[in-house]
Amino acid sequence: MAKKNTKIFITLYSLSIIISGYFSYAELGFIKPLVGILMSLGAIHFIENLKSKPSVKLDIIEFNPSEFPKYVAVFIIQSVGFLLLHSIYQNTDHTESHIWPFIFIGLITGVPGIILFVSLVINKNDSISFDQIKISWKDNKEVNSRRLEDIADVTLVRNSFIYIFQLYSIELLMKDDSKVEIPTYRMNFTKQDILLVIKKIKETNNLK
C-alpha cells in the first residue's frame, strides 16, 4: 500500500511540475527553470552517490550513514529556490501576481528539500548491522533480523520509476523460498550504501 501511494504521489507531483511550468514560462522563461531543475537533480544525484563507511564495535559491523552531506544538499536545493524567487521579484513589478512561478519553484526546490529534510530527521537513527550470526535492521522503532545462514540470495530492488525519486530496497531470498524486504528507501541509505550492505551479505554467505 505504501509503495502504491508513493507512486501516486510521484505521478501527481510530476504532473504538477509540468502544468505549473507551462503557466510560468512567460515570467521565468526556459533557462532559469532548467538551471534550477538541473541543480536540484545534481544535488540529489550527489546524495545517491555518497558512500559511508560502516563502524565496527566488537564483533558488530553497523551501517548508519552520515546525514551531514545530505543536509548540505538540502541547503543547495533551497538556495536554488531562493535565487529563482529573487530573480522574479527583482525584474518585475511587485504588484503583479506570481502565483504560478511561486508554485513551480516550490515544486522543484521546496518539495524535494522538505522531503529530504524530514526524512533525515525522522530516520537519522536507522541502521543495518551484522554480527557473527545474523543481519539486523532498525527502521525507526521497528527492529527485524534474519540469520545469515538462512539467506540464499540478495538483490537490489528499485521501487520508483522516476529518476528524481530513486527508491531502493534490499530483498532477501531465504532458503525456504520466502522473501524479506529491508526498506532502505525510507532509512536514509543511498544507493551506494545499499550496495555496500549487499556486498557484505554476499561476502558473508559466499554468494555470487
Per-residue pLDDT tens over the stretch 112-135: 788 878 877 887 788 999 988 999
State whether residue 145 is helix, strand or coil. strand
pTM for the whole structure: 0.70
| Architecture (CATH level 2) of domain 127-205 | Roll (2.30)
Q: Which amino acid is at 129?
A: S
Encode pLDDT of 70-100 as tens digits.
Answer: 788 788 888 888 887 777 767 655 545 578 8
Alpha helices (runs of H) in the chain, residue ranges in sequence order: 2-28, 31-48, 68-91, 99-105, 111-122, 191-205
Could you state, in order of their start, the residue ranges of all structural domains in the chain?
Answer: 2-54+64-122, 127-205
Segment (H or E) for 171: strand 168-174
- Position 141 scores a pLDDT of 80
Res 6: pLDDT: 67
- In whole numbers, what is the pLDDT of the chain averaged over residues? 80
List of residues 6+ apart from 75 with CB closer than 8 A: none
